[in-house]
Structure formats: structure tokens, C-alpha cells
Amino acid sequence: MGDGSDRRIVVGIEGSGYAREALIWALEEAHHRGAMVEVVTCFSPTYVPAAPDLGYVPLDSFDLATEVDKMQGEVIESALEASKYGNEVEIRRTLKKGRPADTLMASAEGASMLVVGNRGRGGFAGLRLGSVSQAIAHHSPCPLVIVRSGLDTD
């Protein structure tokens, strides 16, 4: 643990209760390790064909980055309130365009740990492990923690 990069815990959140639980876990772990937490939220605008000569235009009629930033802030505030160590840990907020698994793994290069919830907001309710968690489990560039929250529904 020589340089500062290995004292960084990257946490992927997307607005679910599972992600909130992962962030709470990461805050406690960062407290014990003397690390900072980088909260990473990925988003992808939806594009649709407008006309043959116009190409593709964004489908989202609102400022997606602003909405994602707001959601990320709400999850962080909620996790800080629930964590007994939240006020003692440095938090860096990051928003990135891109596919979640790829973007999280790129963000976690050089980190001491990558933390995600066992599943997210999409998919099938009965899944024990979501698609992003599963992809990261096979290709994470650093140690990975998948926090299983025990939430039945989100």
C-alpha cells in the first residue's frame, strides 16, 4: 500500500436499496482501512432514429446527467445517515457515461477494492446475482466485494 490509489474503495450505485447497502458496507470498511470511497454511477442515454438524414437523437426529454446526479446524492445522503462512520470517510462522487460493468471495472483500476450490491433495480426479482455483479465477478481488476443485503424487494 504505497501510493494513495490503493487506499480507494470504488462503489457502484444505481439507486437501488441493494446499492445503498453496498455503500453503507463500504463506508465502514473505508473507516477501518483509512481509505476514501469513490461512488461511481454509470448512465447511458437512450437514442432513437429521428429521420434518415438526421441520424439518432436522445430519447430522454430531461437532463439525464442532472437526474442521475440527484439520485446519486440521495443514495449517498441516505447511506451516510445509516452509517456510524459516514462522517469520518472522504467521499468522491463520479458520474460516467457507459455500460455499468465496463465503466465500473475501468474506474476500479488501481483501487484497493470494488464494491457492488448483489443485484440492481432491473432484471428478474428472483435473481440472487444481477448481470452487472456477475460480469464484474469474472473480470474485476481488483478485489471485489458483492454485498448481499437480504432485501426481498426493492
What mean pLDDT is predicted for residues 111-133?
Answer: 69
pLDDT of residue 62: 64
Question: Residue 116: CA atoms inside 13 Å, Cβ hemisphere, count?
Answer: 30
What mean pLDDT is predicted for residues 28-33?
Answer: 96
Is the pTM higher than 0.85? Answer: no
What's phi and psi for 17, nearest 5 deg?
-65, -30
The answer to whether 101 and 132 are in contact (CB under 8 A) is yes
pLDDT tens digits along 60-102: 656 788 889 999 999 999 999 999 987 899 999 999 999 889 9
CA distance 16 to 114: 17
